[in-house]
Structure 1
Amino acid sequence: MRRRHFLLAATATLAAQTTPLWADIGDALFLTAGNTPDNATWLVGLTASGDIRFKLPLPGRGHAAAAHPHAAVAVAFARRPGTFAIVLNCATGDTVAKLTTPAGHHFYGHGAFTSDGRYLLTTENAYDIPDGRIGIWDTEQGYARVGDVPSGGIGPHEIIRLASGDFAVANGGIQTHPDFARSKLNLPTMRTNLARLSATGTILSKIELSGEMRQNSIRHIAAAADNTVVAALQWQGPPTKSAPLIAHFAPGREAALLDHPATARLNHYAGSVAINASGTQTAVTGPKGGHVLFLNASGAPSDSPLSSASGVARHKDGLLITCKGGLALYHDGALMRIAIPARGVGITISWP
């Protein structure tokens, strides 16, 4: 199972619902999507030990997933410019609902639930305007779409819920249109920002990358307990220039770009980002460079080669990263073990 992005790490939260809770399904569940050797696209649910919980065929390439805060439910999204999303019962792997964007919109591959689980918020491109939008879907009405609000910029990629209950949105700044496939249409004038939205969709603040760094597209983000956001960046400026690929966004402050000594190994492209459970380690992957960058709580850097290092998710023992052929577990920046799946649809994973 070859995968560009790791989709989800969902942990247990207690709530009284008829739908199974995360606690009811046992260990933390990880979702990943990819192509099998025959180019079929699948979504796979894995336990923390690497066992397969379920496999679900997808109508196209998947990208990421959003976990319900209480119920054992997740929503898997199409990769841009796809228009489908699938709501899953993660206890069984059954499809609960299927979502389709309204005409003139497509998904950017990410979403997040409000803290009470009532609404699902999705990042979307209203491509004929053009404008970044946040779609709003009501879970109590069978995931009916009830509206959308501005994202605060062009190209909203990832949206995450903060500890405060507000949301952070990575507006990558790149204008696209499905008539032009995945072409980037506005690189000379693009502007990237991190927006903070209330649970009702009001834009509370925006932090832009200024000057020439406005071409450093904010794509994937992760948040610490104090609502500080760390972002993985993708440089869209002159390829001859070296640019930082990690940024910190603290509430009420300007963005802080962090230059890691191994940044060049990522070839201008940071993939995913995650912070470990204790908040002491951040990992940023470089799928094009086959490398992972680490920063500890004091900002001390380290790095590790890892072929096709792509998605990263929090694991109880550190940080779990998808790589060529399997999953790699890191603790404090050190590689602990790798799980290698068997080839084909009958995928199995074992931990050494």
Structure 2
Amino acid sequence: MLKSYWGSTNSMAIDRRHFLIGSLVALGAARSALAAEGLAGAAATEAAYASAARRPDGTYAVLLIAADGKILREIPLSARGHDVAIEHASRRAVVFGRRPGFFALAFDLDGRREPEVFAPPADRHFYGHGFFSQDGRLLYTSEHNVESGEGVIGIYDTSGGWRRIGEFPSYGVGPHEAIMLADGKTMVVANGGFGSDPATGRESIDLAGMEPNMAFVDLATGSLKASHGLPPEINMLSVRHLAANAKGEVWFGGQWQGGLEDSPELIGRASLDKSISIIEPADPMGVSLKGYIGSVAMSADGRYLAASAPRAGRIVYADTETGRIVHEVKIEDGCGIAESGGSEFVMSSGHGVVRFEHDGARAPDMLSFTGTEFDNHLRRV
């Protein structure tokens, strides 16, 4: 997870034009880079993972990474990126600016088309996450209604220009990650429970009154199918990141907004017809994980959930059948996680490390990129 030394926006007003103009500058740089590569280098077709990062020269980019860990291509960004949404069929992707995000950059995974910058309306900002519809025609994004303070899901047409064509409620405040279930019809939103003031950057609003929830939403109509909240005694556990298996079971990683000494357990699960249950390990872990889960990922076979705790330098595995914590990996500032087939995962860190975990058969493979700082999320292409 990238550290605060990247620079906080809390102490200065956000100038929306800075992000948009800067994005256009980055777009120009990306076009130059693509031109230099001839738009379609053979190596680019081998990209296996994508992550936002800070480069050694202090600038920002999206990095495309091969299955062996080699960085194949860098697409410049004007500011810090957060998560990357992948559309596998057309091999397109979108990286979102970190909350409060005022830009997104759409790009071709194989470098055949020029990147495109787009932005939310003036009274909205991105929360850093989004996903494509099953047919790839729409992009759904988690957003903040600046005027009302409510969460919304923005809907963008991917066919040309990334035009925003509508929105519907997130059914909560502070929607962070949103994902689509395997049925292709249901979206799940992690409503964190609090908003941010874009005038001051990332300053949180009304923590005491938090009402986090997991909202299950009909993608066709935008209607609410179910909403599962947390009990009042842990209302300050912000539901942030999600991963689902083929059975429709959705796991989440939370971030505790109260005093660290009071941190509850941070990992839970729910489904459309089952309320949230918090995983209770044999030995309490909330405090030792520093009250913070930065990312979650489901293994390809659906058996394990990996949850990163970058502040504690640990990644824990939960068995989705038993609900028990069964494994732990120590990786300093490790936050990004992606499945890599079977029960295996790939991990990235804010210190430029990429770690390939294996299913007990052999030791992990470790690669280090000096001066590179991977952001919070790693996605499989």
TM over 0.5, yes or no? yes
Q: Tell which deviates more after alignment, 186-195 or 295-304.
A: 295-304
Aligned to 1:328: 355
Aligned to 2:318: 295
Q: Structure 1 239/40 Cα, relative in aligned 2: closer, same or farther at 3 Å?
A: same
- Which amino acid in structure 2 is aligned with residue 99 of structure 1? F
Q: For structure 2, which runs of at least 5 residues remain unmatched after alignment?
A: 4-42, 374-381
- Which amino acid in structure 2 is aligned with residue 178 of structure 1? P
Instruction: After TM superposition, give the deviation of residue 169 of structure 1 in Å.
Output: 0.7
- Which amino acid in structure 1 is aligned with residue 191 of structure 2? N
Q: For structure 1, which runs of at least 5 residues remain unmatched after alignment?
A: 5-23, 346-352
For 1:153 and 1:96, locate their aligned partners in 2 and report how far apart those are by CA, in whole Å: 32
Aligned to 1:33: 52
Aligned to 2:213: 193
Aligned to 2:195: 175
Whose RCO is larger (CA < 8 A, sep 6+)?
Answer: 2
> For 2:316, what is the secondary structure of its paired residue?
strand
Aligned residue among 336, 345, 366 for 1:311: 336
Q: Structure 1 37/25 Cα, relative in aligned 2: closer, same or farther at 3 Å?
A: closer
For 1:188 and 1:140, locate their aligned partners in 2 and report how far apart those are by CA, in whole Å: 42
Aligned to 2:227: 206
For 1:138 and 1:344, locate their aligned partners in 2 and report how far apart those are by CA, in whole Å: 33
Residue 236 of structure 2 corresponds to residue 215 of structure 1: yes
**What is the aligned-residue identity percentage?**
32
- Which amino acid in structure 2 is aligned with residue 304 of structure 1? V
Q: TM-score with structure 1 length normalisation?
A: 0.87
Aligned to 1:17: none
Instruction: After TM superposition, give the deviation of residue 99 of structure 1 in Å.
Output: 1.1
- Answer whether contact 2:260 2:290 (CA < 8 A) is retained: no
Aligned residue among 273, 295, 311 for 1:272: 295
Q: After superposition, what is the alpha-carbon deviation per residue over 1:76-128, rounded to whole angstroms, capped at 9, x for unaligned?
A: 10001121001111001753421111011110001111111111000001122
- Answer whether contact 1:137 1:147 (CA < 8 A) is retained: yes
Instruction: After TM superposition, give the deviation of residue 338 of structure 1 in Å.
Output: 1.2
- Answer whether contact 1:54 1:93 (CA < 8 A) is retained: no
Instruction: After TM superposition, give the deviation of residue 227 of structure 1 in Å.
Output: 1.1
Q: TM-score with structure 2 length normalisation?
A: 0.80
Instruction: After TM superposition, give the deviation of residue 208 of structure 1 in Å.
Output: 0.7
For 1:304 and 1:190, locate their aligned partners in 2 and report how far apart those are by CA, in whole Å: 32
Q: How many residues in Structure 1 have an aligned counterpart in Structure 2?
A: 326
- Which amino acid in structure 1 is aligned with residue 366 of structure 2? I
Question: What root-mean-square deviation, in Å, do the aligned CA atoms of Structure 1 and Structure 2 show?
Answer: 2.2
Runs of 4+ in 1 over 6 A off after TM superposition: none
Q: Structure 1 325/179 Cα, relative in aligned 2: closer, same or farther at 3 Å?
A: same
Aligned to 2:369: 341
Higher helix share: 2
Aligned to 1:228: 249
Aligned residue among 62, 67, 77 for 2:96: 77
- Please give the residue correspondences for 1:53-92 in structure 2 after superposition, counting only pairs within 5 Å: 53-92=72-111
